Amino acid sequence: MATSLRERFELLGCIQCGRCTAGCPVSLRTYLNVRKVVYEGVTGSGPRDATGRPEAWNCTTCSNCTDRCPKGVKPMELLIGLRSAAIERGKAQPTVRDALESTLKHGNPWGRIRDKRMDWAEGLDVPVAGEGEKARLLFYVGCTSAYDPLAQAGSRALAAVLAAAGVKYATLGTAESCCGSEIRRMGEDGLFELLSEGNREMFRDRGVETIVTNSPHCMNTFRNEYGEHGITVLHYSQLLAGLLDDGSLKLGTSVDMKVTYHDPCFLGKHNHIYDEPRRVLRAIPGITFVEMDRSRERALCCEGGGGRMWVEPPKERGERLADLRVKDAVALGAARIVTACPFCLKTLDDAVKTSGNEGKIAPIDLAELVAMAL
C-alpha cells in the first residue's frame, strides 16, 4: 500500500477532541480507543493493519464516532480499513475465515447450503422470481432472516403481513445471495465487490424497482454502498408504515402488551429511520409503548453489527451492551423488547438468557408483532 492511512482515510481534519471515543459504546468495555487509533493514523506511528491492533475487531461499526465527529472524519472507516489490510494478508480468525469462505461458496456467511435458503417459507405461498422473471417489488430476505430459526419467524411474519395487505412482490428464492454488508465490515473488500456486482446484475435481470429488506444492514448496504442503481431501497418498517397510511394494511386484533423498542444502529444512526418503526408500533391496537431512556440517536448498540456475529472479540471487560439493554427494558416493565433487525434480535435473545431474565422479557421482531395484530 503506497498511500498512508492519513491520506486514505483523510485523517488530517482530526482535532483530537475525543468525541469519537466518548461516544463509542464499546469503549466502555473493550480496549478500543478510537481517538488514539486516529491519532496514530495521523502521525503514522500505529500499526497499519488489525493484526497489530486486535482491538479494531471490537468495533461494531455502529457509526457513533463518525456521526459525532465535528470535523467530518470517519474513524469507523479507518477501523474497517485496518481489518481489510489484515484480511488481504490472509490474517483472519477462524470464525471470520469460515464466514468469508462460506459466503464465497454458498452465498451466505452462516455455512448453510444454498438449497435450504427458502426453508423459512415452507408452507407459505411466497412468490419467487426466477431468471428473466420480473420482481418490481423485491422482498430481499437476507442471510440471517433466511437461515436463523429465531429470525426466520420475522420473515414468515412479514410474508403474512404482505399477503394480508395485498402487496404484489417477489423474492429471489434460493438464487438470493448475501448483500455483503458484514463482509465489507469484516474487511473483505474483494468479496464485497464480487457480491455487489452479482446482486446488481440480478436486480437488473429481475427488473427490480423497489427493494424491501428484513435487515437494516442489507438495506444500508444496498442504499449507500452499491453505487448508483436507481432502485428505491426500503426497510420493511417503512413499507409497513406506508401501507398503514394508505389503508391497505388493517390491524384489527388487539395485542394487549407493554413493549419497548430497541433502535437498530443501521436503521437509526446510519439511516436516520427512527419514526416509521414507532409509527407502526403505535398503530397496533392494545399495545402500550414505552421508550427507553437511551433511544433514537442516543440508542445503545447491541454489538451485533460490524461482522461481530462472526468475530471472537479480543479482550473485554464489564457487561455486554445487549445485557444492559435488556436490563433497561426490564426496568421499564416491558414484556417484549421490539426490534427490527435480525442481528439485534439474536444478540438480545442471548442477553435475555445471560442476564437471567428468561421468562420476564423476550425480544420480538416488529413484523411478528404486526402479524399478531392482523
Partner 1 sequence: MNIVVCVKQVPETAEADLKLAPDGKGIVKEGLPLQINESDNYALEQALLLTEEHGGDVTVVTLGPGSSDEVLRMSMAKGAREAVRLGGAEFERGDAVAVARALAAGLKGLSYDLVLTGCVSSDEGHTQVGVALAECLGIPHATYVVQMEMGDGEVTVGRELEGGLIEKLLLKLPCVLGIQTGINEPRYASIMGIAKASKREIALKGASDVGLDAGAVGEAGSRTRIVALSYPPAGEKAEILEGTPPEVSAKLAGVLKEKGFV
Alpha-carbon span 347 to 264, nearest angstrom: 11
Q: Does 189 bind partner 1 (CB under 8 A)?
A: yes
The half-sphere exposure of 92 on its side-chain side, counting CA atoms within 13 A, is 20
Q: Does 80 bind partner 1 (CB under 8 A)?
A: no
For partner 1, give the closer residue by CB, 68 or 112. Answer: 112
Interface residue with partner 1, options 40, 101, 209, 319 (CB under 8 A) = 101
Helices (H), ranges, 107-261:
143-147, 149-164, 181-185, 189-205, 216-224, 236-245
Q: Does 105 bind partner 1 (CB under 8 A)?
A: yes
Helix (H) or strand (E) holding 349: helix 342-354
For partner 1, give the closer residue by CB, 96 or 202. Answer: 96
Q: Does 200 bind partner 1 (CB under 8 A)?
A: no
* Min CB(337)–partner 1 separation in Å: 23
* Min CB(126)–partner 1 separation in Å: 21
Q: Does 90 bind partner 1 (CB under 8 A)?
A: yes
Alpha-carbon span 105 to 108, nearest angstrom: 8
Question: Stretches 14-22, 106-114, 136-144, 284-292: which one binds partner 1 (CB under 8 A)?
Answer: 106-114
> Site residues for partner 1, window 110-149 (CB under 8 A)?
112-116
For 122, counting Cβ atoms within 10 Å of its Cβ (0-12 exposed, 13-18 middle, 19+ buried), the class is: exposed
Q: Are 77 and 136 in contact (CB under 8 A)?
A: no
Interface residue with partner 1, options 40, 77, 88, 319 (CB under 8 A) = 88
* Min CB(358)–partner 1 separation in Å: 11
Sequence-distant (6+) residues with CB within 8 A of 16 are: 35, 38, 39
- Angle of CA points 88, 92, 96, to nearest 5°: 120
> Site residues for partner 1, window 228-257 (CB under 8 A)?
none
The DSSP result for 28-81, as a single string, is GTBS--HHHHHHHHHHT-S-SSTTS-GGGGG-----HHHHH-TT---HHHHHHH
* Min CB(187)–partner 1 separation in Å: 9
Number of CB atoms found within 10 A of residue 360's CB: 14
For partner 1, give the closer residue by CB, 42 or 87. Answer: 87
DSSP strand pairing (336-339 vs 257-261): parallel
For partner 1, give the closer residue by CB, 147 or 261. Answer: 147
* Min CB(95)–partner 1 separation in Å: 11
Q: Which amino acid is at 325?
A: R
Q: Does 7 bind partner 1 (CB under 8 A)?
A: no
Smallest CA-to-CA distance from 191 within 204, 173, 178 is with 178
Q: Does 104 bind partner 1 (CB under 8 A)?
A: yes
For partner 1, give the closer residue by CB, 136 or 353. Answer: 353
Interface residue with partner 1, options 97, 200, 229, 294 (CB under 8 A) = 97
Alpha-carbon span 47 to 209, nearest angstrom: 44
Look up residue 354 and give its three cell numbers. Answer: 445471560
* Min CB(101)–partner 1 separation in Å: 7
Alpha-carbon span 95 to 92, nearest angstrom: 8
Q: Does 1 bind partner 1 (CB under 8 A)?
A: no
For partner 1, give the closer residue by CB, 69 or 96. Answer: 96
Residue matched to cell numbers 433497561: 328
* Min CB(116)–partner 1 separation in Å: 7
Interface residue with partner 1, options 70, 72, 94, 230 (CB under 8 A) = 94
**Which residues does residue 138 pair with via DSSP β-bridges, in sequence order?**
170, 211
Look up residue 248 and give its three cell numbers. Answer: 391497505
* Min CB(112)–partner 1 separation in Å: 6
At residue 331, what are phi and psi to the nearest 5 degrees?
-60, -30
Q: Does 191 bind partner 1 (CB under 8 A)?
A: yes
Interface residue with partner 1, options 67, 188, 276, 365 (CB under 8 A) = 188
Question: Stretches 23-31, 70-78, 98-106, 351-359: which one binds partner 1 (CB under 8 A)?
Answer: 98-106
Interaction site with partner 1 (CB under 8 A): 87-92, 94, 96-97, 100-101, 104-106, 112-116, 188-191, 193-194
